Amino acid sequence: MTRATAILVCTAVLSCGTGCLHLDVPRDFLVVSSWTDAFEVPPAAHIAAVAADEAQLRVSSFRDDWDGNLDYWYQALEHDLVDRRGYTLLQRADRQDAKGLSGREMVFSVTHAGISKKYLVCVFDAGQRIRVVELTAAAEVFDRHLEAVQAAIATLR
């Protein structure tokens, strides 16, 4: 291994320590994808999990190139989902992650291909990174997972 390669590997491992993503995934979900791009600064990360009843849970962390604050991201999501995609906003809530960082959650309903679905999105502004937790499923399936996913949001770090 060349010295340059060793330095790159060490840098990637060390930077992951400040940017890797963790969530205590609810027990009904199986993690099907998890990755960190340690070469992006700050590191990007993604977790995807599914339940046997087809509920989908996604957690993402990505660089905030727009330097938006929490209000910006919250309003942008609401505008896109309600005004552009026709979702109905059902509820809002404030959340905190495992480190006490404030986030905002919204739950929506939408009918797609004749199926009533619900969608939760919770966004956190972690300075240079935006963290997003999403749950989507058919409405009756969604309701069975909502409480466990909201509890898991408190473990996000």
pLDDT single digits (tens) 64-112 = 887 889 999 999 999 999 999 999 999 999 999 999 999 999 999 999 9
C-alpha closest to that of 157 among 7, 19, 58, 36: 19
Average pLDDT, rounded, for the chain: 87
Kindly tell me if the per-residue pLDDT of 2 is higher than 50: no
Whether residue 3 is predicted with pLDDT greater than 60 in this model: the reply is no
Q: What is the pLDDT of residue 13?
A: 36
Would you state the pLDDT for residue 37? 84
Q: Which is nearest to 135 in space by CA: 77, 78, 56, 21? A: 56
Q: pLDDT of 13-27, one tens digit each?
A: 333 433 479 999 999
| Spatial contact of 89 and 78, defined as CB atoms under 8 Å apart | yes
38 or 116, higher pLDDT: 116
Q: Residue 56's beta-bridge partner residues?
A: 50, 136
